[in-house]
Amino acid sequence: MYWYENAEAAGWVVGRDIYAARPGAVAVWGGGAGHVAFIEHVTTEGIEVSEMNWSQQVCAWSSRFRTSAWGRVSYAALTWEEAHQRLSHRFVGYVYPVRRELPDFEV
């Protein structure tokens, strides 16, 4: 969750409504070190994201935690339900690509 809190403290516009996704925003999930993904597209069914270091499988050859997607950009289409909970990571909110001092941006 520190991604969200740090962005908010630094003056970025944030929001917790999962349905308020916008292209260019960053989705944030909590749990462990957390996870973030860039919102590419928003559909009526959910969001399409690009992200790195996310996989549901851990590499067997690695002596430390590392996913099979380590260091690679991957793309995923997530339904709203899938976006709400990704494995042990619960949706925290979005960080929008605009600073709070710009009054014309609405979430």
CA distance 54 to 29: 12
Which has more pLDDT, 70 or 36? 36
**What would the two tokens of residue 18 be?**
């999962």
Q: What is the pLDDT of residue 59?
A: 45
Q: What is the pLDDT of residue 40?
A: 97
Q: What is the pLDDT of residue 22?
A: 97
* Residue in the block written with tokens 């949706």: 91
Q: What is the pLDDT of residue 64?
A: 47
Strand partners, 14: 95
The 10s digit of each residue's pLDDT in 9-28 is: 999 999 999 999 999 999 99
* Residue in the block written with tokens 């996870």: 35
**Is 107:97 a contact under the CB 8 Å cutoff?**
no
Quick one: pLDDT band at residue 88, thresholds 50, 70, 90?
confident
The 10s digit of each residue's pLDDT in 47-85 is: 999 998 776 544 444 444 444 556 778 899 999 999 999
Strand partners, 95: 14, 26
Q: What is the largest CA-CA distance in the chain?
A: 50
Q: What is the pLDDT of residue 58?
A: 46
**Is 36:27 a contact under the CB 8 Å cutoff?**
yes
